């Protein structure tokens, strides 16, 4: 929460599972934002999320076995491998410009 609280997040998305809701909850409360649902199995939904939040910074909370697929779909390649089940320290930052999509991986 502390890392992201000052980053200008304007929308938060999470799957309906309790664990992702619990991850998103503290930041959503601190920023007074609702947690919006999404399905990690509907890869095209990433484009709907982006279109609904043009120009904003979005936090999407996902799972070890779905987040890499979601990002790979957005990037149009298979850059990321699935995360291990015990890997909870990754934050993937995806920046989109009119010309590029830039991926940075942060480890905490």
Beta strands at 101-107 and 90-96: parallel, antiparallel or unpaired? antiparallel
Task: For residue 61, tell me if it sits in a domain.
Answer: yes
Q: What is the pLDDT at residue 2?
A: 78
> Cα(15)–Cα(108) distance, rounded to whole angstroms?
22
Task: For residue 3, tell me if it sits in a domain.
Answer: no
- pTM, two decimal places: 0.91
Domain span at 34: 9-107
Task: For residue 34, tell me if it sits in a domain.
Answer: yes
**How many structural domains is the chain composed of?**
1
Task: For residue 2, tell me if it sits in a domain.
Answer: no
Task: For residue 1, tell me if it sits in a domain.
Answer: no
Contact 38, 45 (CB under 8 A): yes
Judge whether residue 1 has pLDDT over 70: no
Question: What is the tens place of the pLDDT at every residue in 58-85?
Answer: 999 999 989 999 999 999 999 999 999 8
Q: How far is CA 52 from CA 2, 3, 46, 47, 107, in A?
A: 25, 24, 10, 9, 28
Question: What is the tens place of the pLDDT at every residue in 86-99?
Answer: 998 999 999 998 89
Task: For residue 4, tell me if it sits in a domain.
Answer: no
Question: Average pLDDT, whole number, for the chain?
Answer: 93
Task: For residue 23, tell me if it sits in a domain.
Answer: yes
Task: For residue 39, tell me if it sits in a domain.
Answer: yes
């Amino acid at each position: 929460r502390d890392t992201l609280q000052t980053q200008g997040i304007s929308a938060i998305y999470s799957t309906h599972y309790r664990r992702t809701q619990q991850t998103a909850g503290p930041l959503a409360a601190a920023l007074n934002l609702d947690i919006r649902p999404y399905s990690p199995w509907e890869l095209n939904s990433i484009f709907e999320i982006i279109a609904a939040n043009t120009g904003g910074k979005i936090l999407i909370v996902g799972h070890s076995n779905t987040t890499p697929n979601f990002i790979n779909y957005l990037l149009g390649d298979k850059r990321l491998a699935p995360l291990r089940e015990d890997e909870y320290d990754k934050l993937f930052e995806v920046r989109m410009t009119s010309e590029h999509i830039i991926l940075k991986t942060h480890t905490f």
